[in-house]
Amino acid sequence: MASIRRPRPTLSVVLCTYNRAELLRRTLDSLCRQSLDKALFEIVVIDDGSTDDTRPVVQAYESLLPLRYSRQRNAGLGSARNHGVFLSQGKILVFHDDDDLAGPRLLEEHLETHRRYPENRYGVLGYTGLNPSIAHDPLMRFATRVGFFLFSYPTLKNGDVLDFRYFWGGCSSCKREWLLDCGVFNPVFRFGCEDIDLGFRLSKHGFRVVYNSRAASYMVREIGFDGFCRRLHLQGQSNYVLSRLHNDPAIQEWAEVIGAKEAWARIGLKYDAIIRAGRELDRIARLRAECGLSMDEADTKLLHQCYFVAFRASKIKGIVEKANAMGANWSS
């Protein structure tokens, strides 16, 4: 149970987790090795109704980290993050994912950037790379460095001051007071878009995001082809909800809702075949990687095409299904 009776830290790490006890252990391990003085930060773990060993894993770190643990019934990421925001005592909130390892200077770099940009309206985007254990995974490389289905860091340079589209949930920070004044996460978003929705609402008050590539963390979870398709399907559903909440051209463009119905009419009947083909090529690419066999340019191009089409189709499927479930009037 969370307890508040200790000196107020400067920075709170909000770490929401759901049934990833083993990954969470590695994440907490990485947070034990921060360059920032432990007196200056706290870790607020929100357990979103896990049924695995999450609680004992957290308990094992209570003597090693300035840690607060609080459990809620499973309610999704938006609600869990709000729970964490309100439990936090730090003036700066760092949102960190339970499948990312923190680089040793992660918290210090976030703090330093906030000190350089002390106005409440500035948030910070850190860098999320691939841990060496998955750095050579063909899918993860494609998603992060080619197709940009997961981050788009190659398009950014250190120090960029960015708009709401770069307030990425698991690697960003902001001032707590700013959220209390201008808005928190919308609980309707259980997965996906909770960050962009909030960033967009904050942008109406002048919110900007400063990119600090030295505030680094590293993904350790290999998502896999089917997992990635499921993720983009959910993302598509959230994109549609977001597009209905904000009738703003920037959001409509970001959510990729425009033209989704027509796109689905073209690809819907082929969807299963698209997924099968992508899955098979992904399997072969992994086998080749495991055997140390390189792929030539033509094979790589074909693989990336298949990834792109499968992931895009999964997102469109999510958009269209959600639109139909919500009784969409596509002509409007």
Partner 1 sequence: MSGAKTLGSDTAERVLVAGIYLADRENNIVPISSELGQSKHWIVDQQWIALGRGAIPDGLAPVTVSTVETPTPKFVLLNQLLGKLDLDRYSFVLVCDDDIGLPPGFVDRYMELVVAHEFALAQPARSHCSDIGHVFVEALDGLTARWTRFVEIGPVFSMRHDAARLLLPFDETSPMGWGYDFIWPVIIEKAGLRMGIVDAVPVDHNLRKHGAAYDYDSSRQTMAEFLAPRPHLSRHEAFSIIESYC
Nearer residue to partner 1 within complex by CB, 16 or 139:
16
Interface residues with partner 1 (CB under 8 A) are 1-4, 48-49, 70-76, 79-80, 82-83, 86-87, 89, 91, 176-177, 179-181, 183-184, 187-188
121, 203 in Cβ contact below 8 A?
Answer: no
Q: How far is CA 241 from CA 246, 263, 317, in A?
A: 9, 18, 14
Strands 92-97 and 171-175: antiparallel
Looking up tokens 């107020």 gives: 8
CA–CA separation, 166 and 199 (whole Å): 8
Closer Cβ to partner 1, 55 or 221, answer by number:
55
Q: Which is nearer to partner 1, 67 or 150 (CB)?
A: 67
Nearest-approach distance from CB 312 to partner 1, in angstroms: 31
C-alpha 148/C-alpha 161 separation (Å) is: 19
The contacts of residue 218 (CB under 8 Å, 6+ apart) are 100, 101, 103, 128, 129, 130, 131
Min dist. Cβ of residue 74 to partner 1 (A)? 7
Q: What is the closest distance, in whole angstroms, from the C-beta atom of residue 68 to partner 1 in the complex? A: 10
89 vs 252, which CB is nearer to partner 1?
A: 89
Q: How far is the CB of 46 from partner 1 (least distance, A)?
A: 8
Q: How far is the CB of 88 from partner 1 (least distance, A)?
A: 8
Question: Token pair 């063909």 is at which residue?
Answer: 138
C-beta of residue 282 within 8 angstroms of C-beta of residue 139: yes
Is the Cβ of residue 187 or residue 268 nearer to partner 1 in the bound state? Answer: 187
Shortest distance in whole angstroms from residue 321 CB to partner 1: 23
239 Cβ neighbours under 8 A, 6+ residues apart: 192, 193, 254, 255, 256, 257, 315, 318, 319
Nearer to partner 1, 70 or 213 (CB): 70
